[in-house]
Chain A
């Protein structure tokens, strides 16, 4: 029995941090209507700053702690004021959500540059000796953590419900437009909530750092755990955030002890999926649901990119020829293999474009389908002597089956909850690829995967693999382009911008979304299979959730809703580190920064901008602004 309570205490401590992250989510969500996915990174930045002030500079604990919180908040405010607040004002909610995923990547990249990729632990505030309560032993840092988080909750409660500033924050949460009419500076309130959330994150990060080990990319872990906690508790509810966080912490620790530490995460994610099915608004839904849709409609306005048929065909063929001759040219070392990787990833990004760019469904789990395709094809070809082609087909079939199962959960969900469900799916696949050691080889990966082959022809050189990927991508683009220029594409776009008006015209909104999800998952699966055959090796982190974020960056950078655009995003993000040696360290930060900057300054993407310059429509649209002749 003591053992049980010991585990519960461990779970409560872990859950306290989740609760703090969830509180940050809820605070920003209430004021801005957006979930800030970069919240978890503030924990890591706080702990990192603490390490510098305390260990490297030798400052006393309280001063070092205060200095780290202040510096993280200052950094957070600068980033928030230049990216997050302008984005809330001018982007649809779904784009802002993805932008904050870019911020998460950016913060992780900054931590990587400053801190390197090794794990760090801070010394406990008051010695290593645990405190005993009868037979129960609690690490002394645990008391600091519990006390610190309780103090933060009290302070936040006092600020929000007992001060004039808190009333202004609440007013923004209730009705931003009315708040502005009342003279409240809403952008400043949004920034304030962002800064407060940074303070909560940094404080909880430096409190928990002594009893856990952190590294540059732990922010993603905190974000996802906090996100799960807030989804269990209820988006925007402070009480729900706390209860959700503690519940999640205890459930994970109990599962780790009584079931298996490898599957603790899996169980938590299944719990969340069940929760989303049973009660999508969480246990403590915070009053009326924010009218996110209204706000989205006002800002959903995308540049219209239409190329006339002739130019489209010329452009497509030209591109195909240029890309086709590349392997024959004398390329520097490593360039051809990077080109191959870009092309393979492009196939998955193409699927993401159908789902996100055309149907408007945010997916943070695209890599999950890559993993399914990659592992299925690789395992069947390596261990069961299936032909690679049959393996690829089996992977695609399994991915579509998973997409259909996922749609049972996502069918009713929109906006943040949809993004959350896809993220959960991706993380679930991650945890299975790591946990099912007998099937996938676990963390050390699957080795000895054969080359892709058709009959007796082996695609065993970089050039052959490149041509294969190029051919597959070209066929996929051709087929999809046909669909997008017909009623299917129009139905997708109608669903993206106005589901109500679409349904009033007889569009089966659910089926259209499902079709987009199936296409997207099939292409991701195909890409994952080729990826495995290309490397002759597959490990969980090659197709894990950060890959999903990377593919979103590729899509947005290249241009959503353009099909071909993703290729340019994939090329830029894959080739830059290869071409410019020494850039590898900066890759993560640059990827995040590029995604954020593209959203803010080049929303149509690289290819989108190029096509606009090329298209007649872009020039003709302007004079129409006047009244049309009757």
Chain B
């Protein structure tokens, strides 16, 4: 059996008196597309932040490709190939769309700062290759017409897409996307679904936090349901839709 991409083992996160995430355990297979769902306040984003050590777990452990993430900072986690996006798009202001995309490739630029300054042939060739790659990805997501525009001038949905492109430029082994469909209309959501499936098909493991059920049920191969900080259910989309506990969590049915 291959190592799971991500293993979350008994992770809890406490904020003062509030146990926002309570002993959650699950794992995600390599190459899978998993969705983390749950009602508002279920602790989805907290769990996300605990995985990437933005707010580290108070107890429990997260392993990525078999390696413990305990004590690693955001940069080192990114260095392992685990790249995240943020709930509200955090494109870099004061930079163009293309530059934002290129910024994602930071870890894979081999040329030193000095080589870049002196415009050495190797550095220039590398820069050209990165620009081509970023251009192709922007084209794929429908942003190539705006490559020289200020990133912050894009509508929010397009900024979130740009953030996905920026994350892809980092050659991730696994992507953690925080509500990528928030603020998108139906046709944009369909485009996003196609993009996520395509990313999964090139071998990148994906986990999304998502509210949009049609997106989740359409593309995910595993759904993880969180309610009040606890894991309620985990399984294939069809099973989850039929799961009584999930319906309870969402609709609040009582016996």
Contact = CB atoms under 8 A, between A and B. Distances in A.
| A joins B in a complex | yes
Interface of A: 300-302, 304, 306, 479-480, 482-483, 486-488, 490-491, 493-494, 496-498, 500-509, 515, 561, 616-617, 620-621, 624-630
Given A503-B74, A628-B155, A300 B93 contact: yes
Nearest to A515: B113
A487 B116 contact: yes
A493 B93 CA distance: 9
Contact of B92 (A486, A497, A503, A561): A497
A271 B96 CA distance: 44
A504 B94 contact: no
Contacts of A627: 155, 158
B201 interface: no
Contact of B96 (A302, A500, A617): A617
Given A302-B94, A490-B102, A490-B103, A504 B113 contact: no
B92 A624 contact: no
Given A300-B93, A487-B105, A501-B92, A625 B118 contact: no
Given A488-B117, A500-B54, 13 more contacts: A300-B93, A302-B93, A482-B117, A482-B118, A491-B103, A493-B94, A497-B93, A504-B86, A505-B106, A506-B106, A506-B107, A515-B113, A628-B155
Contacts of A561: 94
Contacts of B77: 504
B139 to A, nearest CB: 12
B78 A505 contact: yes
B143 interface: yes
B116 A483 contact: yes
B90 A487 contact: no
Given A621-B150, A627-B155, A630-B191, A505 B104 contact: yes
Contacts of A503: 73-75, 78
Interface in B73-100: 73-75, 77-79, 83-84, 86, 90, 92-96, 99
B1 interface: no
Contacts of A496: 94
Contact of B74 (A306, A504, A616): A504
Interface of B: 52, 54, 73-75, 77-79, 83-84, 86, 90, 92-96, 99, 102-107, 109, 111, 113, 116-119, 123, 127, 130, 142-143, 145-146, 148-150, 152-155, 158, 166-167, 170, 187-188, 191
A479 B117 contact: yes
Nearest to B52: A504
A483 B94 contact: no
Given A486-B127, A624-B146, A497 B94 contact: yes
Contact of A488 (B73, B104, B116, B170): B116
Contact of B148 (A301, A504, A617, A626): A617
A624 B153 contact: yes
A500 B91 CA distance: 11
Contacts of B123: 486
A301 B153 contact: no
B111 A486 contact: yes
Nearest to B152: A301
A504 B83 contact: yes
Contacts of B83: 504-505
Given A301-B152, A302-B93, A490-B102, A479 B74 contact: no
Given A480-B117, A483-B116, A630-B142, A508 B93 contact: no
Among B92, B127, B130, max chain A CB count under 10 A is at: B92
A561 B94 CA distance: 10
Contacts of B170: 505-506
Contacts of B113: 483, 488, 515
B152 A507 contact: no
A491 B74 CA distance: 15
A130 to B, nearest CB: 57
B78 A504 contact: yes
CB-CB nearest 4 A-B residue pairs? A486-B116, A506-B78, A506-B107, A483-B117
A604 B148 CA distance: 19
Contacts of A494: 92, 95, 103, 106
Contacts of B153: 621, 624-625
B117 A505 contact: no
A487 to B, nearest CB: 4
Contacts of A628: 142-143, 145-146, 154-155, 158
A471 to B, nearest CB: 17
A624 B149 contact: yes
B142 A629 contact: yes
